[in-house]
Structure formats: C-alpha cells, structure tokens
Amino acid sequence: MNKTLTKDEEKALLDAAQQVRENSYSPYSKFEVGAAVLAQDGRIFQGTNIENASYGLTVCAERNAIFAAVGAGERRLRALALVTQKLPGMAFNSPCGACRQVMSEFMPPDTPILIAVLDKQKRIVYRKTLRDLMPFPFDKFSEK
C-alpha cells in the first residue's frame, strides 16, 4: 500500500474535511470538526461530529468518516484528514482515544494523518502517522 500522498490528494482530502465541517451538529460544545478518509480506489468519504444532549451518544467526525467508508465496502484506508478550529494554547487538536482505536482497525500504523486547524483565514496542517498518535495499538496490524 502506498503511504505517500500526492499534493493533489492531500489538498482534496483537506478540502473535503473542511467542507463537511460546515455540517457539524455541535450545539453544546460549539466545536465543529470535519474529517475525510481516502480509500484505496481514490474515493473520499466525509464525516462530521454529531453531538447529543446525552453526551455519551456523541460521535466524532473521524469515526463518522471511517464508518461511511466501511459502509460503502472499504476496509483499508490510505489516509485521514481532520479539520478543526484553533483552540487557545493548543497547536492542534488530535483525535480522541475512541477514534484512534477505530482508526487502528482500518489503517496500518504508517497511515498518513493530516491534522489541520483553522486560524483566522489560514489552514495550518500538521502531518502525523497513526503510529505517532497511537504507538501501542490494540489492533490486527500490531507485531505479535
């Protein structure tokens, strides 16, 4: 599996995540998140965070994007992009533990993860791998 993204793939993935972020349902946190995953065949699947008054029922953008891809038959994903707003005192906002665990089910450790923050009119992108975010996963890709 090719782990590098072309500039066009990276831009398309980030643009898709930023666009779907506008559909966020986040009346409680006011924290809008958009995510997009790139499938092996080049298709992009999007997801946004959907909150609920019963906070435990909230689902993150990353999981919604992954679940959309899996629902369409994809099982191995090439990359994930995440777009959020800038929070004071933080360089970027990384996926939660639940999202990291779901990511590790469908992405090998060296999968590119693009984490972008919107700071005024600027999109600042941090490039990581799933291994950076979850160095000791409970997954089928781990070395035994």
Tokens of 141: 């890709």
> What pTM did the predictor assign?
0.92
Tokens of 11: 């831009």
Other beta carbons less than 10 A from residue 36's beta carbon? 30
Give me the pLDDT at residue 1, please: 47
Give me the pLDDT at residue 43, please: 97
Per DSSP, what are the bridge partners of residue 82?
A: 35, 115
Give me the pLDDT at residue 46, please: 98
Give me the pLDDT at residue 137, please: 84
106, 77 Cβ separation under 8 angstroms: yes
Q: What share of the chain is helix, strand, coil (3-state, %, to 5)?
A: 30, 25, 45
pLDDT in tens for each of the 144 residues of the chain? 457 899 999 999 999 999 999 999 999 999 999 999 999 999 999 999 999 999 999 999 999 999 999 999 999 899 999 999 988 888 899 999 999 999 999 999 999 999 999 988 899 999 999 999 999 888 666 554
DSSP letter at 1 equals -
Which active-site residues does the annotation give?
62
Give me the pLDDT at residue 127, please: 96
